[in-house]
Amino acid sequence: MRLTVRDTKEEVGNYIAEYIVKRINSFKASKEKPHFVLGLPTGSSPLPVYKRIVKLHEEGKVSFKNVITFNMDEYVGIPRDHPESYHTFMFKHFFSLIDIDPKNTHLLDGNAEDLYKECEDYEAAIKAVGGIDLFLGGIGADGHIAFNEPGSSLTSRTRIKTLAYETILDNCRFFNNDLSAVPRMALTVGVQTVMDAREVVLVVTGQNKALALSQMIEGGVNHMVTASALQTHPWALVVCDEDATNEL
């Protein structure tokens, strides 16, 4: 696992955006593998990354015509067009601002009739396109990746998860600070789904992530800090700002 420190969260965003754009641009499409497959997160940390990629796209420096995306997670039980659904987030901050074919974007459906089948189909869809080339992720204040809350199996795959109380409290800010409005469950890719990606890049910014960052990279690999699994990934990069290094 490599760690790169930048001064501010904007610089972290720029660095990761340019890194991803470089990967997309150096991808050589073939008949067997026509698409670059990108895994994507939501949350406030990746926003500067999306902002910079959109800018590079505006400048004609990258196209998403041959990119397929899979998002990490989605809430269960709020409508797809709810202002805080991850579906809304992705189209607002990214997909509607770039030249990606909406058919090439994949998000778990938290309103699917059969949630178990939805998760199985998601894993199958990832497999069908040859796996994920680069998974971008953030981490929760408790060191979770996607919605793999403390205690999740490190070999988990896409499934339904009950959110930890700390995550519900953290996400309350997006629901007018109304705790009762925060969904209690989500669909999420598993730790193993992330680990299967050829490359993983994590964006970690802010003082509130400092403890999680130190546990994730200085602590042992363990299921109470699920992002720590990345210590064993052959190609993982963590990019953080100065604030996030306070406990290292």
Residues that bind ligand GLP (CB under 6 A): 41-45, 72-73, 138-140, 146-147, 167
Q: Which of 214, 229, 226 is nearest to 144 (CA)?
A: 226
Residue 114 annotated to the active site = no
| Among 142, 196, 199, 241, the one annotated catalytic | 142
SS3 110: coil
3-state SS, residue 71: strand
Tell me, rounded to whole angstroms, the distance of Cα 201 from its chain centroid.
Answer: 9
Nearer CB in complex with ligand GLP: 46/133: 46
Catalytic residue among 123, 149, 196, 199: 149
Residue found under tokens 């396109």: 129
If one counts every other C-beta atom within 10 angstroms of the C-beta of residue 127, the result is 10
What is the residue whose two structure tokens read 């940390």? 45
- Write the burial class of residue 66 (CB in 10 Å: 0-12 exposed, 13-18 middle, 19+ buried): middle
Q: Which is nearer to ligand GLP, 27 or 242 (CB)?
A: 242
User: Smallest distance, Å, CB 32 to ligand GLP?
Assistant: 31
Min. distance of Cβ 219 from ligand GLP in angstroms? 18
CB-based contact 98:56 (threshold 8 Å) = no
Closest CB 125 distance from ligand GLP, rounded Å: 19
36 vs 147 by CB, closer to ligand GLP? 147
Nearer to ligand GLP, 63 or 207 (CB): 207
Measured from the CB atom, the residue of 3 and 61 that comes closer to ligand GLP is 3
Q: Which one is catalytic: 57, 87, 106, 144?
A: 144
Min dist CB 167 to ligand GLP, Å, is 5
Q: Any catalytic annotation for residue 18?
A: no
57, 73, 74, 123: the catalytic one is 73
Cα distance between residue 207 and residue 199, in whole Å = 26
CA–CA distance from 139 to each of 80, 107, 168, 186, 240 (Å)? 23, 19, 14, 16, 11
DSSP string, 161-208: EEPPHHHHHHHGGGGTT-GGGS-SEEEE--HHHHHTSSEEEEEE-SGG
Least separation in angstroms between residue 22's CB and ligand GLP is: 23
Our answer to whether residue 149 is catalytic in this structure is yes
- Specify whether 118 is catalytic: no
- Residues taking part in catalysis: 73, 142, 144, 149
